[in-house]
Every structure is written in structure tokens, then in C-alpha cells.
Amino acid sequence: MSISKAGRMAAGVGLLAAVCVPERAVAVPAPPPVAPPVAAPAPARAPVLDLVLDGGRFALRDAFAILAGRPVLARVSDAARARMAQSRAGALAALSGQRVYGWNQALGPLKDRPLSPEEAEQFQRNVLRSHAAGVGPAFPDDVVRLALVLKANQMARGKMGVRPEVPQRLLSLVNAGVVPVMPQIGSLGTGDLQPQAAAGLAALGEDAPVHFRGETGPASRMLPRAGLPASFTFEAGEALPIVSGSTVLAATLMHAVHRATVLADQAEGAFALFMEATRAERGSLDARTHRERHIPEEDAVAARLRAMVAGSGWMTEEGRRRLDPANYEPRVQDAVSVRAAPHIMAGLRQVLASLRRTLAREANSSASNPLVFRRERGPGYEFVMGGNWDGSIMGHLADSLNAEITDLGVLSQELSGRLLSPRWSYGLPANLAGGSVGLNSGMVQAQSVAAAVVPEMQVRAHPAGTLSRPVKDGQEDHNTMAMASARDLHANLDRLEIVLAVQYLLAAQGIDLIAAKMAGLPLGTATRALHDELRRYVAPLGDDRYLTPDLERTIALVHAGGLTPYPAR
């Protein structure tokens, strides 16, 4: 089991003593008194993540380490610094004979208005001030740290024409623990203009807010407290690369991929526990039928499920006979939700794999406009203006991932509903009630929580990438809306945590209620471990009790990845 101490203590989860499973003939006992929430012990300080950025080798494992809160010490490689200095000199030389967007010309609808060399420095500040118009909740600090590292790595490629001091200034904020406050609302997915402008103002040392050691204050005051120079100057052409591109989108999607992967793992664990509770047939996991579909992810899901229930005596003819031997008839096959689950879950794995490839490529690309290249013919450099910042592919993949996790939420809610019905669950007590059924109503309302959340997921799964809005006097007449896709995706990941927590609670309750009749038949090794881990925090339900704490504990456990059946990856 890959269950960390931090996960066990997340969100003030009170540790409950492990409980014995009672005989069904005896009412399930009332749970022990719930311990009050306790503060998690201070975790051991993670080792520093030492990053040398060269624009070509940033890996997703490094992104996930930053998202996990690892302290970072990052710098631009010597080779990248030399490449950037050469590109910068070439860019400045090229300006004498070329009109260049954002360098010697204004921006957006004002792109045809020239700028004098004397206006260059003030223009850099004005670009950031005018673009820093975002509102709403801020991105999580670790997402912001990652976005700054991604931006620095992209600049290190030497195609944006900025001095090497620019990415190193961004990295100095990360290294010192200074986190710009980046509002989430404002980006249309055609570059992350508003949030990245907020970071640019912080790097300048203006009064944009930053977080530092638990306090929020203006960068002008907080940077010196962090041991950084109070101010910095962006020179000609250096503000536009700060705001151009989709690095904040990439960072928040890396966060979503990490979250979705952990939830996909836990969904497989919840399904395996459901199969034990309903004594499901193994035929739906048979390797031969999955090989015939020629979907590698489906093969892999089925193989992991087989491993989790390996050794189970519950998922056998003897296990299925135990609840009602006199009336037992062999099953022909389980319901579609059970048989098709490996295929449904494989769709999520496919989209995650696509997003991983796309994001790894994005992290090591020059996503900005304009870019600076050495001339193919003749000496010197030239600017090329295009749409290389667009986030359409990432946005559509975010929509696809949202659709997959929503379908997983629908599946999980359907499986939870089956557990409440004696007919659909093949003999589990109605409503999963402990004690006297009828006098006790059991867990029907806990399942209703999942049913209430799923329609919200379905509404938020509508692909925002189909909802372009023209803005800026028609200069930006197509927008990917990718940040809206990312925000909807994270909101639905929050909801999926709730739905999976309900499934875990109900599946474990089903197992406990029939454990006496299954005496002598083991659960699978992995499913037993999952059941026991959940029971460290939530006791079985006997007579009806206040259920909100049980749900909140389980949601916190899922959120922390505490019911992940596989090693961390």
C-alpha cells in the first residue's frame, strides 16, 4: 500500500482504532468515540530539488516534485545563458530593419503604432500593468512555482530574445520561496496574459501581492525580506515573453494530471473492493478477452484488478453461495457497469498518457510570439511573428480528461447504488443498514451525496474549447478558452474525490455486513489492505449515526491519496 503518514493525517483526519468485523447475527457495534481532529506532525523536510534548466530536458517527474511542495534551487545552465546572450544581441541588431510586435511596435489592436527606443523601458512596465487585470481565487502556490520554472525553462531555449537575467530573476523568486499571487480568472487560453502579468509585476518589484513565509504583501516590501533585490528592469522586448505563451495553463494541467492519476489509481481500488462486496465473477477480468480488444491500457487495468483480487475466496462459486445456500443459482454474468469497467477506466488512462506527452513537449518548447531565429540564409537573426502561444491542444485534452473523469464518476455512483439494493448486490442488507434493518436506515443518504454531485460533474464537463469568443477589436478572433477547461477540470476532480469516497465507504460496509457468513474465505491481499486502511479512520456502521464525519474523513483520505493501491509513480 502506498499510503503516507501525511495522507493519513490530511485535513485533520482523526485516527480511529482498527475494528474487528462482527458476526452478522449480532448488530454491528456502535463505533468508538471519534477522536478530535489532530494536527499533522511536522513532516520531515523534503530534499531540495536541484534543477539546471537548458530548455530541453525538463521532465514531468520534476513538475510533480514541485507540485508536491519540494523546495527548489533552480538556475539556467551556462550553455543556455550563452545561447540566450547571443540570441539577445542578434534580436537587438535585427530591430534596425524590422517592425516587430511588442518590441518596436505596440500590442493587440494597437499593433501598428510604432515605439521609440526611448519608450522601451516604460512600455515594458505598461505591458505588465495593463495585462495584470485578473480576478478571482489565486492559483495554488505550487502551481505558480511550477509556472515560473516552466517559463524560465522555455526562455532558456534562446528563441525569445530575452537576456539570461530574465529567467534567472523568475527563478530567484522560486528559490527564495516568494510566490506571486496569480488570479485564475481572465485568461482566454490564448496565452495566459493576466496571471503571467501578475508574476511579471512581482518580478519587477512593484506592489503586486506575493506570498512569503505565510504572509501576503506587496512585492516591493516582501522581496527585500526574502533577501532579493527590491527591483528589476525589463528591457526592450522582455515583458511580452513574460505574458505570451501558456505556461500557467501547462502548470495547472500538470497538476490536474497528477491529481487525476492518483484518483484513477484509487478508482481501481474502489472497484476491486466493490467486486469483493458483491462476490463478482472473475470472467470480466479474463486476460484473453481484454487482449482481443487490442487496447493496451485496458489490458493493464484488467491486470491490475486481477492482481488486487488475487487469492480472494469471496469471488468464487463458494463465496457467492454463502449468503443463501438454499436458493443459490450460479450467475450467468454481472451487470454492464461491472463487466465494462476495465474498458471505461482505460479511456481515462489513454487521455492521461496523451496529456503527459503533450505537457512534456510544452515544457521544453518556445511558446511565445514573436520568436527570434538565426537567419537560414545570410548572417544575423530575424524575428518571426506567429501564433505559437496558443493553448488549443492542451485545452481540448483538458476537456477530454474532464469527460473521462466525469464518466468515471458516473460509473462509481452507479456501483455505489448497486450496493444498496439486495437484488442488485446479490444479497447485501438493504441500504447497507447495520443492526435492525428498518429501524436503521443505513447508508442510503451517503450514496445520495454521490448522486447529488454527479449532475454537477456532467454540467461542468461541457467542453469549453468549443466556446470561442472574439475580443480585442477582432485581433484575437479565436480563443481556446483553455483556462476555463482547466478550471472546470479541477472542480470536477474535487467532486470525483467525493464520489469515490462514497464508493469506498459503501463497499467496505458491504464487506463488513456479510463477513460472518464468509468466514474462512479470504479477501484478496490488496483488497484486504484497502479495507483495513479505511477502517483505520472510519468504523463500520452499526446503528444509525451522524454520517457527515465518516464521509469527511474518507474524502480527506482520498484527497491525500491514502487509498492508492499502487506504489507512488
Per-residue confidence (pLDDT) for residue 23, from 0 to 100: 30
Chain segment 2-33, per-residue pLDDT in tens:
433 333 333 333 322 222 223 333 334 344 44
State what percent of residues in the chain have pLDDT above 70.
89
Beta strands in 229-356 (DSSP E): none
Contact 307, 526 (CB under 8 A): yes
Angle 184-187-193 from CA coordinates, rounded to 5°: 105
DSSP 155-181: HTTS-S---THHHHHHHHHHHHTEEE-
Quote the crossing angle between the two packed helices 60-67 and 341-363, to the nearest 10°: 100
Contact 268, 346 (CB under 8 A): no
Per-residue confidence (pLDDT) for residue 30, from 0 to 100: 42
Q: What is the pTM of this model?
A: 0.89
Going along the chain from its start, the domains and CATH numbers come out as: 5-41+253-351+392-559 (1.20.200.10), 49-244 (1.10.275.10)
Chain segment 30-61, per-residue pLDDT in tens:
444 444 433 444 456 789 999 999 999 999 99
- Report the distance separating Cα 153 and Cα 144, nearest Å: 14
Closest CA to 262 of 358, 147, 143, 348: 348
Closest CA to 57 of 148, 150, 133, 159: 150
Per-residue confidence (pLDDT) for residue 476, from 0 to 100: 66
Chain segment 486-536, per-residue pLDDT in tens:
999 999 999 999 999 999 999 999 999 999 999 999 999 999 999 999 999
- Report the distance separating Cα 300 and Cα 3, nearest Å: 22
State which residues of the chain have pLDDT below 70: 1-44, 106, 108-112, 190, 469, 471-478, 568-569
Helix (H), strand (E) at residue 102:
none
Per-residue confidence (pLDDT) for residue 181, from 0 to 100: 98
Per-residue confidence (pLDDT) for residue 106, from 0 to 100: 66
Per-residue confidence (pLDDT) for residue 568, from 0 to 100: 63
Written as nine digits, the cell of 89 is 544581441
Chain segment 488-499, per-residue pLDDT in tens:
999 999 999 999
List phi, psi (to 5°) of 178. Answer: -95, 125
Chain segment 202-238, per-residue pLDDT in tens:
999 999 999 999 999 999 999 999 999 999 999 999 9
